[in-house]
Chains A and B, each alone.
Chain A
Amino acid sequence: MTIIAQKPHSLTDVPMHYCPGCGHGIVHRLMGEAIDELNIGDKVIGVAPVGCAVFADSYFACDMIQGAHGRGPAIATGIKRSKPEAIVFSYQGDGDLASIGMAEIVHAAARSEHITVIFINNAIYGMTGGQMAPTTLVGQVATTAPKGRDPLLQGWPINICEMLSALKGAKYLERVAVDSPQHVMAAKKAIKKAFENQVKGIGFSLVEVLSQCPTNWGVDPLKSLEFVRTKMMPQYPLGVFKDEGAE
Chain B
Amino acid sequence: MPRIEVDANRCKACYLCVNACPKKCLGKSKTISKKGYFPAEMVHPENCIGCTMCYMVCPDVAITVIK
A residues near B (Cβ < 8 Å) are: 1-8, 11, 15-16, 18-26, 28-29, 178, 180-181, 184-185, 214, 221-222, 225
Q: Would you call A180 and B9 a contact (CB within 8 A)?
A: no
Q: What separation, in Å, do the CA atoms of A166 and B53 have in the docked complex?
A: 36
Enumerate 19 A-B pairs (CB-CB under 8 Å) in ascending A order: A2-B66, A3-B64, A5-B52, A8-B61, A15-B10, A15-B60, A16-B10, A16-B60, A16-B61, A24-B59, A25-B58, A178-B57, A181-B56, A181-B57, A214-B14, A221-B15, A222-B19, A225-B16, A225-B19
Q: What separation, in Å, do the CA atoms of A22 and B58 have in the docked complex?
A: 9
Q: A16-B60, A22-B59 are in contact. Are A3 and B10 (CB under 8 A)?
A: no
* Extra 20 A-B pairs, beta carbons < 8 Å, given A5-B63, A7-B61: A2-B67, A4-B65, A5-B64, A6-B64, A8-B61, A11-B61, A15-B60, A18-B59, A18-B60, A19-B12, A20-B13, A20-B14, A20-B37, A21-B16, A21-B59, A25-B59, A181-B20, A214-B14, A222-B16, A225-B16
Q: What separation, in Å, do the CA atoms of A180 and B53 have in the docked complex?
A: 9
Q: What separation, in Å, do the CA atoms of A3 and B5 have in the docked complex?
A: 10
B9 and chain A: residue at smallest CB distance: A15
Q: Would you call B61 and A221 a contact (CB within 8 A)?
A: no
Q: What separation, in Å, do the CA atoms of A25 and B61 have in the docked complex?
A: 7
- Interface of B, secondary structure class, is loop
Q: What distance in Å separates the Cβ of A22 from its nearest Cβ neighbour in chain B? A: 5
Q: How large is the interface on B (under 10, 10 to 19, 20 to 34, 35 or more residues)?
A: 20 to 34
Taking CB atoms, residues of chain B closer than 8 Å to A6 are 55, 64-65
Q: Would you call B59 and A23 a contact (CB within 8 A)?
A: yes
Q: Would you call B66 and A3 a contact (CB within 8 A)?
A: yes
Q: Would you call B52 and A4 a contact (CB within 8 A)?
A: yes
Q: What distance in Å separates the Cβ of B31 from its nearest Cβ neighbour in chain A? A: 17
Residue of B9, B12, B15, B61 most packed against chain A (CB within 10 A): B61
Q: What separation, in Å, do the CA atoms of A181 and B50 have in the docked complex?
A: 14
A25 and chain B: residue at smallest CB distance: B59
A32 and chain B: residue at smallest CB distance: B61
Taking CB atoms, residues of chain A closer than 8 Å to B61 are 7-8, 11, 16, 25, 28-29
Within 8 A of A (CB), among B12-28: 12-16, 19-20
Q: Would you call A1 and B67 a contact (CB within 8 A)?
A: yes
